[in-house]
Amino acid sequence: MDKDFIKQSVEEQRDVRRNLWISVIAISGALTGIIFSSKRIPQYFDMLLFIKSVIILLGILMIIFFIQEVICCNKEIKKLLRLYNKEK
């Protein structure tokens, strides 16, 4: 493999990793806002509580998937850097 191609691939993986972390932070902030929102309508309380719970669980699931992707990006970066160091 060409060294320039490896460098470019590493940079692309780092960009993907950075964007995934930004997404994790944004989703965490949104979930915090949902959890701590204080609007309650007595007649729809059970339905709102259920909807909030579903949204929170989906958000947590997305965070887990994004962190898993970050771990995969880290492995790919390490693999590319090992390949780059072999070619030196």
Q: What is the pLDDT of residues 11-65, one digit of tens each?
A: 999 999 999 999 999 999 888 888 777 666 666 667 777 888 888 899 899 999 9
Residue 35 falls within a domain, yes or no? yes
Please report the pLDDT score of residue 51 as a whole number.
Answer: 81
Residue 52 falls within a domain, yes or no? yes
Range of the domain at 67: 3-83
Please, which contacts does 15-20 make with residues 24 or more away whose CB atoms are closer than 8 Å? 16/69, 16/73, 17/70, 17/73, 17/74, 17/77, 20/66, 20/67, 20/69, 20/70, 20/73
Residue 88 falls within a domain, yes or no? no
Please report the pLDDT score of residue 25 as a whole number.
Answer: 92
Counted domains in the chain: 1
